[in-house]
Amino acid sequence: MLFELDRDTKVPLYVQIRHKVRELILSGALPAESRLPATHELAKALGVNRTTVVTAYRGLWREGLVQGRAGGGTVVALPGRKREAPHPIDQPLLWDDLYTERVPALFPWTSAPRLPADEEPLNFARGDPATDLLPLDSMWEGLSEVKRQGHAPLRYAPPQGDPELRARLAESLELRGMRASPSQILVLSGGGQGIYLAAQAFLERGDGVVVESPTHPEALRIFRAVGAQLRPVPLDEGGLRLDVLEETLSRLRPKLIYVTPTFHNPTGITMPTERRERLLELACRYRVPILEDDPFPGLCYDGESVPPLAALDRQGTVLHLSTLSKVFAPGLRIGWLLAPRPVAERLTLLKSSIDLCTSPLSQAVATALFPRRLSRHLETIVPIYRSRRDTLCAALVREGANALRFSRPAGGLFLWATLAHDLLAEPLLEEALAEGVSFLPGAPFFPWGYGGERALRLNFAAHPKATIEEGMRRLGSALRRTARRARQGRRECEREEAREEAFV
């Protein structure tokens, strides 16, 4: 066995030797069980130091291509691996045997009926805003601006995002009190991509991640798919319970805290400033980064807006995530992450493996929205959404006074309601679907698929008032029927128990 080494390149000699020997093994030139030359012989033949050959052989050993034989030098071998007996060629491939654990499973413990499509008329399960209120003309005006850019939006964009869009995003974040330069911003293909990137970047299989209980099901699915351990922390009326968080941080050493402190999805809770300060302090003390999800910037209906965690953060502990999906249109698939600059750069490397860059066409349209067209749109929709929320609250009080309770959300798109003790959300959903109205049942929002059996989430923003009234009337009748059935079921149980006792 001899080959030539290339002394002109910067490739280390041990790498070259390892590579050449590997080639000889895999091409069959060095069959299994055959002996490699002794290290000092090969070193002499190639004119290199013996350590160089040893290092190369060690690499091959780590790959499982060679093994040491007591008293017999190094032989070609694949320890524990025989030549696999080939299968017949006429059988189809069994893909189900091939998937990794990353292919996400469905939620355990919930078998929610298939939900209707977004477009269906009385769908309060949907996650999108009122797209029919979108200023189409202004959108197409924006597209004409794109048109004037000629071929640019048809080329690859920088993986971190279009510089002009990042500049406009930085300005808009600065207006909300965050210190943001374009180099700290990563443009995303929707907000969910930020959760995905953070999970990939910071969570190995088995690492803990703090999540609110309840929280956004899509986030749970992403964390589960990387094999993370969910560390749920319950909420009270001020958001994340910091006493439980501190126990979790000190004893379970999670690697990431995922939190939606403003208009929390699904509960609508907003964390007060003072608690935000203490949350940051805890994260800093235990050296755990926070991923702050802020999907509804500007969708505030009551009271004053509270500063985002990123605006209060002084130690660079917060990744701030937001999106155009809820304040403008989900179809643009535009989100952004504000991070310390080196973190933004690392995450850009990850993102470029996922989709190279966010659609430059979508980015160009988004750029044309900032700041004027977007703020005009917000001025239009905020009063409309506020009054739709009030309509929904009034209708719920009217239709479900004894059967459910809820707090009026101060922002966002969703209302979270809890049913009375004897009612469950899934049977209610079945009745509701029969009435042509739908909502999201609560269980999938809970990290362990348990805890939301009596809860439901309703979208108050996507439908006009008349639709809300009609939908809640139908939900009310579904509620009454579910309550009746529950009472019947209990009576039957009691009768059955009585019968059984009679038999004893």
Using CB under 8 A, which residues numbered 343 to 372 contact a copy of itself? Answer: 343, 346-347, 349-350, 353-362, 365
DSSP-assigned letters across all residues of 290-303? EEEE---TT-B-SS
The region of 3-11, 370-378, 392-400, 474-482 touching a copy of itself under the rule CB under 8 A is 3-11
Distance CA 109, CA 441 (A): 13
Considering beta carbons, is residue 196 or 472 the nearer one to a copy of itself? 196
Among all chains, which residue has been given the structure tokens 């699915």?
Answer: 221
Contacting residue, 47, 72, 79, 93, with a copy of itself by CB under 8 A: 93
Among all chains, which residue has been given the structure tokens 């351990």?
Answer: 229
Pairing of strands 66-69, 335-338: unpaired
Which of 377-398 are b and which e, b meaning 16 or more Cβ less than 10 Å from the residue's Cβ?
bbeebbeebbebbebbbebbee
The candidate with the shortest Cα–Cα distance to 193, out of 345, 390, 366, 325, is: 325
Residue 200 binds a copy of itself, judged by CB under 8 A: yes
Contacting residue, 163, 238, 451, 464, with a copy of itself by CB under 8 A: 451
Q: Which residues 51-70 are close enough to bind a copy of itself by CB under 8 A?
A: 63-64
Q: Helix or strand or coil: residue 404? A: strand
- Residue 333 DSSP label: -
Q: How many CA atoms does the CB half-sphere of 340 hold within 13 Å?
A: 10
Considering beta carbons, is residue 65 or 395 the nearer one to a copy of itself? 65
- Number of residues in contact with a copy of itself under rule CB under 8 A: 129
Q: How many CA atoms does the CB half-sphere of 82 hold within 13 Å?
A: 3
Using alpha carbons, list the distances in angstroms from residue 361 to 152, 340, 357. Answer: 9, 27, 11
Paired tokens of 248: 């979790």
Q: Which residues 119-158 are close enough to bind a copy of itself by CB under 8 A?
A: 119, 127-128, 131-132, 134, 136, 139-140, 143, 147, 150-157
Position 94, amino acid: L
Contacting residue, 96, 274, 304, 500, with a copy of itself by CB under 8 A: 96
Contacting residue, 107, 424, 467, 481, with a copy of itself by CB under 8 A: 424
Q: Where are the alpha helices (DSSP H) in 401-447?
A: 425-434
269: left (phi over 0), alpha (psi -120 to 50) or beta: beta
- Per the document, the length of the chain is 504
Contacting residue, 342, 387, 430, 488, with a copy of itself by CB under 8 A: 342
Smallest gap from Cβ 147 to a copy of itself, in A, equals: 6
- The helix or strand, by DSSP H or E, that contains position 62, with its residue range, turns out to be helix 50-62
Considering beta carbons, is residue 28 or 303 the nearer one to a copy of itself? 28
Q: Which residues 13-42 are close enough to bind a copy of itself by CB under 8 A?
A: 15-16, 19, 23, 26-28, 32
Smallest gap from Cβ 450 to a copy of itself, in A, equals: 5
Paired tokens of 150: 């000629």
Distance CA 235, CA 418 (A): 15
Smallest gap from Cβ 398 to a copy of itself, in A, equals: 26
The region of 36-44, 174-182, 216-224, 376-384 touching a copy of itself under the rule CB under 8 A is 216-224
Contacting residue, 68, 177, 272, 331, with a copy of itself by CB under 8 A: 331
Q: Which residues 367-396 are close enough to bind a copy of itself by CB under 8 A?
A: none
The region of 2-10, 46-54, 173-181, 266-274 touching a copy of itself under the rule CB under 8 A is 2-10
Q: Which residues 103-122 are close enough to bind a copy of itself by CB under 8 A?
A: 103-104, 109, 111, 118-119
x/- map, 230-249, a copy of itself, by CB under 8 A: -x-xx------x-xx--xxx
Residue 479 binds a copy of itself, judged by CB under 8 A: no
The region of 45-53, 325-333, 379-387, 388-396 touching a copy of itself under the rule CB under 8 A is 325-333
Spatial contact of 440 and 108, defined as CB atoms under 8 Å apart: no
Considering beta carbons, is residue 267 or 317 the nearer one to a copy of itself? 317
